[in-house]
Amino acid sequence: MLSTYRRIFAAPGTLAFSTTGFVSRIPISMSGIGIITMLSQLRGAYGVAGLVSATMAVSAAVLGPQVSRLVDRHGQRRIIVPAMAMTITSVVGLLLCARLNAPDWTLFVFAAGMGVMPSTGAMVRARWAHLYRDDPDKLHTAYSFEAVVDEICFIVGPILSIGLATSVFPEAGVMLAAVFLAVGVLLFAGQRSTEPPVHPAARHHGRSVILNRGLQVLILTFVATGAIFGSVEVVTVAFADSQGHKPISSVILALWALGSCLAGVVYGGLKLTGSLATRFFLGVVFMAVSMVPLVVVAHSVDGVVGLAAVGGALLIAGIAISPTLISAMALVERLVPASQLTEGMTWTTTGLALGVAVGSSAGGWVVDASGAAAGYWVPFGAGLLGVVAALAGLGRLHGGLAADGENATALEQPVDADR
């Protein structure tokens, strides 16, 4: 299995852009949970904290694809550094307002400004696609590796963010996220030898890839998936707090990411047959079903034993995440033109961001109204909605793959809104 992953790093510069991409992605896993932890300590309510975090997620959903569209048109290096600088400015404003007890509306303003954070995960995958578009096996392995990197980010990020916020000072987690973003983006932008050239067609696509009907299915499904992510984060922090062990929430969430990480490692080493669309749908179903044990243990066991049970349930639930995301990114690579690949991948993360916004808000409201254990009904409901969305759009996904011949990305075809 290790030799399978070693092959993808044979090309010069691959290790450098993947490593720096990892550093620049850690803030994604730190920012939302860092805002929630910071404001719940400074303001004393999860509802406001969840709404501010949701505001950042909604802003990222609106602005992120536009930033990525500019990347496709003008190149990665020219866009991500200014976007990073704007994000850092907004982070500084948010931290100052939180510390100085400024009115709540100021928090929402600066959280919205953080939405221009560049999607380096999509840009890293675009570099892999540029290198291995003609080698599907290596591209599958590369996407699997990046899914594992994503999960490592979600193991390390929450532990750092929650741990620093609860043991040093409330703003420490968000502050460190800003440092990682600045350093990571600058180093990533410096990897110019592996940056995909601007495709000649990129400047002439007047329509967004959002018109692609197959991509719309992925986005809608990812809204529900993001709601699982956002609600589980908020509710788990609140559940650990209700048991008197709030800092342990970072470890519990890390177990969730660890399950996904291990599944991604195994999945990446497999040579799979069958339809990508079917594999994606089965992953969504498993993700929904895996929420059932979480609801059961949260309502039936208290104290340290309850926290351990929730951690075990999340570890198992994590197994569904990476294979589902890997299949989704492979579907994007098949469904959209190469000249709009970064935008297409960012739209899927936009769906996740929208879902995180809804899920974190709903989770916070339910926790404040009915208690932490009741909050776990939110990710379960979101999982069911994801299954409905994926099932309703399964025909579109199969049709899109059939139109593409289940081959590599269509290079110069315009986006077909009927696919």
For 88, other C-beta atoms within 10 Å of its C-beta total 18
Any residues with CB less than 8 A from the CB of 401 and at least 6 apart, and which?
A: 214, 275, 276, 277, 331, 334, 335
Q: Give a three-class secondary structure readout of 159-170.
A: HHHHHHHHHCCC
| DSSP class of 116 | G
Let me know: does 37 contact 165? Beta carbons within 8 Å: yes
Helices (DSSP H) in 43-135: which residue ranges? 46-74, 76-99, 104-113, 120-132
DSSP 4-17: HHHHHT-STTHHHH
Kindly list the distances between the CA atom of residue 302 and the CA atoms of 241, 244, 298, 311, in Å, as whole numbers in the listed order: 12, 11, 7, 13
Let me know: does 335 contact 214? Beta carbons within 8 Å: yes
Lowest-confidence segment of 223-227, 307-311, 410-414 by average pLDDT:
410-414
Let me know: does 67 contact 83? Beta carbons within 8 Å: yes
Calpha distance 114→238 (Å, rounded): 24
Q: Is the pLDDT of residue 176 over 90?
A: yes
Let me know: does 158 contact 29? Beta carbons within 8 Å: yes
Express each pLDDT in 245-283 by its tens digit. 877 887 888 888 888 888 888 887 777 777 888 889 999
Express each pLDDT in 281-293 by its tens digit. 999 999 999 999 9
How much is the pLDDT for 1? 60
Q: What is the chain's mean pLDDT, rounded?
A: 83
**Angle between helices 136-167 and 14-42 in degrees, nearest 10:** 30
Q: Mean per-residue pLDDT for 121-146?
A: 84
How much is the pLDDT for 199? 66
Any residues with CB less than 8 A from the CB of 190 and at least 6 apart, and which?
A: 20
Quote the percentage of the chain above a pLDDT of 90: 25
Q: Is the pLDDT of residue 414 over 50?
A: no
Any residues with CB less than 8 A from the CB of 34 and at least 6 apart, and which?
A: 161, 162, 165, 173, 174, 177
The H-or-E segment that residue 251 falls in is: helix 249-268
Q: Mean per-residue pLDDT for 218-237?
A: 89
DSSP 297-349: HHHH--HHHHHHHHHHHHHHHGGGHHHHHHHHHHHHHHHS-GGGHHHHHHHHH
What's the CATH superfamily of 12-196+207-403?
MFS general substrate transporter like domains (1.20.1250.20)
Lowest-confidence segment of 13-22, 82-91, 138-147, 154-163 by average pLDDT:
154-163
pTM flag (> 0.95): no
Burial class (CB in 10 A: 0-12, 13-18, 19+), 135: middle
Q: What are the φ/ψ torsions at residue 199 (nearest 5 degrees)?
A: -70, 135
Q: Is the pLDDT of residue 55 over 80?
A: yes
More confident of the two residues 385 and 138? 385
Q: Mean per-residue pLDDT for 83-109?
A: 92
Express each pLDDT in 346-373 by its tens digit. 888 778 777 877 887 788 889 888 888 8
More confident of the two residues 325 and 208? 325
How much is the pLDDT for 382? 94
More confident of the two residues 412 and 230? 230
Express each pLDDT in 116-130 by its tens digit. 998 888 889 889 888
